[in-house]
Amino acid sequence: MYQRILAAVDGSEAGAPALRTALALAAEQPAQLRLVHVVDEVASSVINEPMVNIEAVDDAWSAAGKKVLDAAAAEARAAGITADAALLQRSRQECADAIIDEAEQWGADLIIVGTHGRRRVKRLLLGSVAEGVARRSRVPVLLVRAT
């Protein structure tokens, strides 16, 4: 049914069930799997302090994102699945939009995103990448709630 699955990974414990679901579906279908992690450059673009090395901050965030992708790819290999990975750099774009754009450009027919299951005030204050993807994507979305 699904031939190209895009899974957004963030390296969190809450995101682990989404990765496991993506691996299981990719194996079952069988489907190509693309792992993506979004590096949030928006915060560094609004820091206006001459004492802050913005390039170093961006490099650190990119390195952390690469580690997340490497760990997810290693988990895929351990499950016998070959997955390609993409580190998405976003600047003045919401994480959800970066994921949706990548899914559309890559030709995904399913996006898998983990959700933390926040409620009320926390969700209002922190927002939800998963909700943004689910609301705006033209590609079907599978939300996997953290246990």
Q: At 62, which amino acid appears? A: S
Residue 17 region, left (φ>0) first, then alpha (ψ -120 to 50), else beta? alpha
Q: What is the DSSP letter of 139?
A: S
pLDDT above 60: residue 13? yes
Burial 88-98 (b: 16+ CB within 10 A, else e): bebeeebbbbb
Q: What is the pLDDT of residue 50?
A: 64
Query: In the structure encoding, which two tokens stand for residue 28, read together?
Result: 């079952």
**pLDDT (tens digit per residue) in 77-135:** 999 999 999 999 876 678 999 999 999 999 999 999 998 765 554 444 445 889 999 99
| Model confidence, pTM | 0.87
Pick the more confident residue, 47 or 55: 55
Residue 122 · residue 88 · CB < 8 Å? no
Residue 110 · residue 6 · CB < 8 Å? yes
Residue 111 · residue 139 · CB < 8 Å? yes
Domains in the chain, CATH or no CATH each: 4-145 (3.40.50.620)
Mean pLDDT (the chain) is: 87
Q: What is the DSSP letter of 7?
A: E
Residue 46 · residue 92 · CB < 8 Å? no
